[in-house]
Structure 1
Amino acid sequence: MKKIRILHIIKSLGRGGAEMLLPETLALHDQSKFEFHYIYFLPWKDQMVQAIEEQGGIVNCFEAKNNIQLIGQYPKIADYCHSHQIDLIHCHLPWAGFVGRLVHRKTRIPMVYTEHNMQERYHPVTKFLNKKSFNSQSLAVGVSEDVSQSIKNNISPSIPVRTILNGVNTQKFSRNKHDLSVREHYNIPENAIVIGLVSVFRFQKRIKEWLQVFRNLKNSSSEEIFGLIVGAGPLEEEIMQEVERLNLRESVIFTGLQENTLPYFNAMDIFMMSSSFEGLPIALLEAMSMECAIVTTNAGGIKEVVRDEKDGLMVPVEEWEELKERLQSLITDRPKLTELQKAARERVITEFSLQVMTKNLEQAYMEFSE
């Protein structure tokens, strides 16, 4: 039987949530039925390339230094589709979506577009281009009900919109209580509370506010508390200035980008997010799978995952300062901390597994490639 050839198009293969899902889902796809190709455009953001190739994916970089050059690659992508007999194109995030829609118009190859963010949060130019071109594809996928509803409210597309919830590999992301490597490396005492975050340093993540919450908690608590932040991004210099301003150099550890986040999750007791908006963050699902207690704002798709007081603790986006009180309630009630750590993992196992996500994607591929 001829395999269905899928071409993923994405702007970069760095360590963003959408990018990290590609090798994770590839590992679970039925490669006796599907063959997977990948095109990206930013050669300096290639951290996921090796992981994809190790899982059998075929990766090509069509270099583009800016979004205009990226769009200009569409004839080359169309030629690639013809020469490799691509059956379906799957694009992720707006600029990949724009170029994919041009390829779809030129080749008539079916195209699926996954939206990871709320339309309201995009730059006006991005919103305009998205709305104008959105119907030049076969299917739109929202990673949460909030994201799908945002598409319907802002674009009113004539094409179908389907929600396929993000998932996590719960077998891979499983806590190893004996792994103390990160705590030992950074001289964090075994009994200290570690509040963590894995994130790209973008404005919507509100890491400066995260640091303010941490500082207020540390100043009012008698417990030994450390912060552990894994990631990097465009706001790094600004964030480090805030660390200096708040005098947190000794208590908040920045690890930079990490290929393997498992030992860092192992070191965390609590995973805190202070985001102003989200689609459905992969790092949140990974933290829950790793039995980190969740304390977060109720941004976007987060509230579809975390049920307050059942799977974690939440505050309204605009009341982010209240995160400090929710953290304090866990630090002073260790049985409740343990209860929420176990509940977090149970939640993703039952509702947000990568296996379910991959199965739903394959159903869409089969349906729209026919």
Structure 2
Amino acid sequence: MKILHLIQKKQLRGAEIFTCQLAQYQINSGHDVLIVYLFDGDAEMPVSEKLLIPLNGQKSKRWWDFKAYKALNKIISEFAPDIVQANAGDTLKYSVLSKLLHSWKQPICFRNASMVSNYINSPITKFINSFFYRYTNIIASVSKSSMEDLNNLFPSTTPKTKVIPIGLDIDKINFTPSKYETKQFNIIHVGGFTFEKNHEGLIRIFDRLLKKNNSHLHLIGDGPLRKKTEEKVEKLNLQQSVTFYGYVNNPLDYISGGDIFVLPSIIEGLPGVILEAMFCNIPVVAYDVGGIKEIIKEDITGKLIKKNDEETFVESIIILMNNPELRNKIVSNAKALIELKYNNYKISDEFISFYFKALNDDNKII
């Protein structure tokens, strides 16, 4: 089978990283795969550079980027994929508009990696999204919560939606010695500095925690709200206890050396960094948003906190700090879960089977 993946840009974000990993597994299984990135990006992606093709789109013109729509049509005409998979961001917009303008016939699989309702803020936005979903043949939602959210908002997507979670390259994960000072608890967070990741709330949580326990917060990632977060750290005089690392090529090196992984996001689909932490034997404390409750069960595979309950978030971190028996139980259960359900070998096969649904439906829009 020939598969063409679309990603937003070359960036170390969950949607792009997983797409590259999925593509590599599909290649390993004998399929022919290319990855097209819409916009400029300079991150080193976890896949061979020869598989990556720039579309040279312009984000400021994404609603009328006719040159890029035409370029995508040319790539599809030359590569002749059996299916086109749009992986979050603007990829569905570009694939649908290119298809409508240039009449290519390949079915579109959309990977729904978040909670759509959080981004629908007006009737017009809902109408526009409904239009794009109409031209998908199949939709792979990253979690049951993401699927139900999409289906409730757009009932017409229900018959063509299936839950296919993200997975991990388990065989490629190496455990590295701790990078951190071992006389303190090292709290790890990985994520882009965007409003969804709630760094402002994270700093408030850490400020409370630091008043009770000797800890250090390690922030891996970059993004538009980083400067604002740094200013918040300075305002609270936390500079000696918070380290900003920016983008890193291998976040696992930073995750695996930590003591506790925290994710107080206010919007998530099913974040891969949680799976990575769990596989690396790092206990996770996270808000109950999106599909997180599908992998974190309270005191079984992690600590699950009601959204915006910062006091309980702090208390849960302290409980894990002071209870090694509970930590050991949680990390053992969590790793077993990842090995059983979130291995990319299995996930890749699920996607291939799902593609055949689109092909067997004679490319009709469901």
Per the normalisation by structure 1, the TM-score is 0.90
- Say if 1:288 and 1:344, in contact at 8 Å, map to a contact too: yes
Give 1:76's aligned amino acid. Answer: A
Match of 1:200 among 192, 215, 225: 192
Aligned to 1:96: 91
Correspondence list, 1:174-193, <5 A: 174-176=174-176, 179-180=177-178, 182-183=179-180, 188=181, 190-193=182-185
Query: Structure 1 CA distance, aligned partners of 2:23 and 2:73?
Result: 23
Give 1:264's aligned amino acid. Answer: Y
1:196-243 alpha-carbon deviations (Å, 9 max, x no partner): 01101111111111111111111022xx31111100111111111111
Matched, 1:81 2:81: no
Q: Structure 1 244/127 Cα, relative in aligned 2: closer, same or farther at 3 Å?
A: farther
- Say if 1:6 and 1:90, in contact at 8 Å, map to a contact too: yes
Query: Structure 2 CA distance, aligned partners of 1:283 and 1:240?
Result: 22
1:123: Cα distance to partner? 4.8
1:127-182 alpha-carbon deviations (Å, 9 max, x no partner): 43211221112101110011111111011125511110111122323534xx13x2
Q: Which runs of 5+ in 2 are unaligned?
A: 361-366
1:120: Cα distance to partner? 1.2
Matched, 1:119 2:113: no
Give 2:9's aligned amino acid. Answer: S
Correspondence list, 1:319-330, <5 A: 319-330=309-320
SS across alignment from 1:318: coil
Count of aligned residue pairs for this structure pair: 354
Correspondence list, 1:8-27, <5 A: 8-27=5-24
1:308: Cα distance to partner? 0.8
Q: Structure 1 12/271 Cα, relative in aligned 2: closer, same or farther at 3 Å?
A: same
- Say if 1:217 and 1:324, in contact at 8 Å, map to a contact too: yes
Correspondence list, 1:62-73, <5 A: 62-66=56-60, 67-68=62-63, 70=65, 73=68
Match of 2:211 among 200, 211, 219: 219
Match of 1:259 among 249, 252, 263: 249
1:94: Cα distance to partner? 4.5
RMSD of Structure 2 on Structure 1 (CA): 1.9
Q: Structure 1 324/20 Cα, relative in aligned 2: closer, same or farther at 3 Å?
A: same
Percent identity over the alignment is 21
- Say if 1:297 and 1:314, in contact at 8 Å, map to a contact too: yes
- Say if 1:35 and 1:57, in contact at 8 Å, map to a contact too: no
SS across alignment from 2:156: coil
Aligned to 1:7: 4
Query: Structure 1 CA distance, aligned partners of 2:209 and 2:295?
Result: 25
Q: Which runs of 5+ in 1 are unaligned?
A: none
Per the normalisation by structure 2, the TM-score is 0.91
Query: Structure 1 CA distance, aligned partners of 2:210 and 2:200?
Result: 15
- Say if 2:8 and 2:16, in contact at 8 Å, map to a contact too: no
Give 1:206's aligned amino acid. Answer: N
Matched, 1:61 2:27: no
SS across alignment from 2:239: coil
Correspondence list, 1:244-255, <5 A: 244-255=234-245
